[in-house]
Amino acid sequence: MQRFEYDIDPACGKKRLDIFLTEVQTDITRSYIKKLIEAGRVTVNDSPAKAHYKLKESDRVEVEVPDPEPLEVKPEPISINIVYEDASLIVIDKPPGMVVHPAPGHSGGTLVNALLHHCQDLAGIGGVERPGIVHRLDKDTSGLIVAAKTEASMQSLTRQFKERDIHKVYLALAKGTLESKTGTIDVPIGRHKTHRKKMSTHTSTGREAQTRFEVIRQLDGFTYLRLFPKTGRTHQIRVHLASIGHPILGDRLYGGTLGPKLPQIARQALHAHRLELTHPITGKPMQLESPLPPDMETLLMSAPDPKTVENR
């Protein structure tokens, strides 16, 4: 258990409690500070306080930060393809078939298991069971994923994702021929009414979702696409492409199963190709890329009579 005490001076008067703590506790995320306040671990003048409490000169603020909850997830010596790493963050090129974090049925062999082994001090970040993870990729989606290695980095990356300052570019192979070379799919996405594992555009509780696309190449029976998701909803690209009648090849959940005339792929042909972000400590822009994985490359190379419509 760690304890912190602050005597409020005139310069900090009238600030909200949660904002003040976010400013002075740079190694703790705002969301975690909110949890501490809700749990009664933050007091003002010896009394539990609300996040919106306006501080006054001479107030005394005390914060209790419990030790991180013990992780049931164990480090595992799993090989990972590291694209970039420093003291603040690590970027992994995730292979298809790897689950990002443990869940029922996937207690081991996940990216988190691998990260806990590779980054020895990762377990305590945020006091949570998904250390360092600020976004995710579906099990069978390959490509770039970033993880924070410090609380300060976690806070910065979480904010960048929330404010949509992190830009992602995906590559995909979709069924059929798209009528337009470029376009934007702007349709809300929510949980499917009856299928708990699916998301849907046919829901009254959907949240804003927007995906821009560019056709790279038109092939026999399918299309090679570059996609720019503005939002980050669950299964967003998969659902959006399916909603316009062009599901991703190999995507069994959203209708992308392959016909006898199409080349075969064992998973959805979706790859997180590029990641653009601001380094949480240096403030410098970063752009990282992952090449098209072998299974998608093979599928492209085997396609007969391509009709190139380059759009680069």
Q: Specify which residues 4 forms β-bridges with.
A: 63
* In contact, 91 and 83? CB cutoff 8 Å: yes
In angstroms, rounded to a whole number, what is the distance separating the alpha carbons of residues 205 and 273?
30
Cβ within 8 Å of residue 274, ≥6 positions away: 144, 167, 168, 169, 287, 288, 289, 290
CA 122 remoteness from chain centre: 18
Cβ within 8 Å of residue 310, ≥6 positions away: 216, 217
Q: Specify which residues 207 forms β-bridges with.
A: 189
* In contact, 113 and 243? CB cutoff 8 Å: no
In angstroms, rounded to a whole number, what is the distance separating the alpha carbons of residues 274 and 291?
9
In angstroms, rounded to a whole number, what is the distance separating the alpha carbons of residues 112 and 127?
14
Determine whether 138 is an active site residue: yes
* Catalytic position from the list 18, 138, 140, 251: 138
Residues with a known catalytic role: 138
